[in-house]
Amino acid sequence: MAKKQEEQTFEAALARLEDIVAKLEAGDVALEEAMTLYEEGVRLSAFCQAKLAAAEKKMDEILELDGTLREKGGPA
């Protein structure tokens, strides 16, 4: 049985997403399977984006506590 996304790590989700992209790009899957893979890929992409956003927020909080937070896009 597959893991629920809540239990899944970012790395595992990204690896699965890369696998799905490779299969779809190869173009040798049936339409039904392609649609199923695409749907899973969309969910995994959203999961990965949410994880990255949470990590970025956490890093901002850490830097803010440290007093070294700089404007995004500004010089380091």
Q: Is residue 71 part of a domain?
A: no
40: tokens are 């899973």
Domain range for 21 = 10-66
Total-model pTM = 0.74
pLDDT of the chain, 76 residues: tens digit per residue: 455 545 899 999 999 999 999 999 999 999 999 999 999 999 999 999 999 999 999 988 888 877 766 555 555 5
Number of domains composing the chain: 1
Q: Is residue 20 part of a domain?
A: yes
Q: Is residue 42 part of a domain?
A: yes
Torsion of CA 8, 13, 15, 18, to 10 degrees: 160
Q: Is residue 49 part of a domain?
A: yes
Residue 6's pLDDT is 53
Q: Give me the CATH number covering residue 20.
A: 1.10.287
